[in-house]
Amino acid sequence: MKNLILLIISSFTISTYAQEKTFKAACIGFYNFENLFDTDDDPEIEDEEFTPQGKKRWENNLYEEKLDNMAKVVSQLGTDITEDGVALLGLAEIENKKVLEDFVLNEKIADRNYKIVHHASPDKRGIDVALLYQEKYFDYSHQKAIPLLLYKKDGSRRYTRDILIVSGKLDGDVMHVLVNHWPSRSGGENRSKAGRNSAGKICKNIVDSLYQENPDSKIVIMGDLNDDPNSPSVKKFLAAKSVKEQVFKSNVYNPFCKLYKRGLGTTAWRDAWSLFDQILVTGSLIENNNNGYAFYKAEVFKKPWLLQKSGQYQGYPYRTFVGDVYQGGYSDHLPVLIYLIKEAG
């Protein structure tokens, strides 16, 4: 009879009948911060509502409370498995680098010394994507932004968020992280789907190009996709597979398909959940042939205190504003996480 062996992954324990091994764990996350704006009026973007004189009466005390609320969430991401928390965190709906510089100094997360990779997108409201990382895990190399070129019927450009590519090494593994915030469903899902389909196709092209440059690359695609895992933008144009056993080195695997089928989501509307926030990985993080990091599991971070406790939106994500009425919550999205593990040396 085989002996029961306990494998220890940081503070997390799992049971198996396999050979005894010890693993290291790294947590990667994504979180839509729901309009993290400073209080200044930037004449280059449409941010007037998030000023003291704007519709939302966005005063400094509200800004500081928002920073503190978001730091509370981030301080707890991933800590069930690794005491260091989330090693890399992609972000959406942040106004500029300054708000991130203020954020990483918050006392709830300051000891992690998060470094910032930020790109100013041409979005008319000025909301950007970014990546935070802990140098303990990630050795940053370079960044690149790929524009999503969309056009209106009159031929003028429709500006949206660029795709941010951050490259480096995760504890020695060559890794590229694609941070996305795909076009919204404004005007309806069908009328707006072409923009998200284009984004999915571009991400697939980026993955193929990175693999041509280095077949050993490990690639993570994350973001607020404004589509579910079974939407054409993800399933067809990004060509993401839902069955891990069918994924090979250069394929894309979407672990959030299983969570979506179980009814989990990250944002709610009209009493229905959508799983717009996702983290996908390439097959090189499934086929682990070099003793580096490999995919372990995915999670929607859905704690009771992140949900509205009463009223019309009871059970929805506890957000900062409903319309122009301040709620004092966190975000209208829930964070998502994946965990990677590797044998400890």
- Kindly state the average pLDDT of the residues 95-122: 97
The DSSP output letter for 3 is P
Q: Would you report the helix, strand and coil content of the chain in percent, each value rounded to 5?
A: 20, 35, 45
Give the Cα separation of 145 and 119 in Å (integer): 7
CATH number of the domain where residue 316 is located: 3.60.10.10
Q: Tens digit of pLDDT for each residue in 271-289?
A: 899 999 999 999 999 976 6
What is the reported pLDDT for 22? 83
Residue 341 has pLDDT above 50, yes or no: yes
| Burial letters 118-148, b for 16+ CB under 10 A, else e | bbbbebebbbbbbbbbbeebbeeeebebbeb
Confidence of residue 290 (pLDDT cuts 50, 70, 90): low
H runs (alpha helix) in the chain: 60-76, 97-104, 189-213, 232, 256-261
pLDDT of 185 reads 86
- CA 266, distance to chain mean position in Å, is 11
Q: Which domain holds residue 336?
A: 5-343
Q: Would the pLDDT of 161 be above 60? A: yes
For residues 86 and 137, is the Cβ–Cβ distance under 8 A? no
What does the alpha-carbon distance between residue 149 and residue 147 come to, in Å, rounded to a whole number?
6
Average pLDDT of the segment spanning 137-158: 91
- pLDDT at res. 288: 64
pTM of full prediction above 0.85: yes
CA dist., res. 269 & res. 185, Å (int): 12
Looking at the 3D structure of the chain, how many domains does it have? 1
pLDDT in tens, 193-241: 999 999 999 999 999 999 999 988 999 999 999 999 999 999 999 999 9
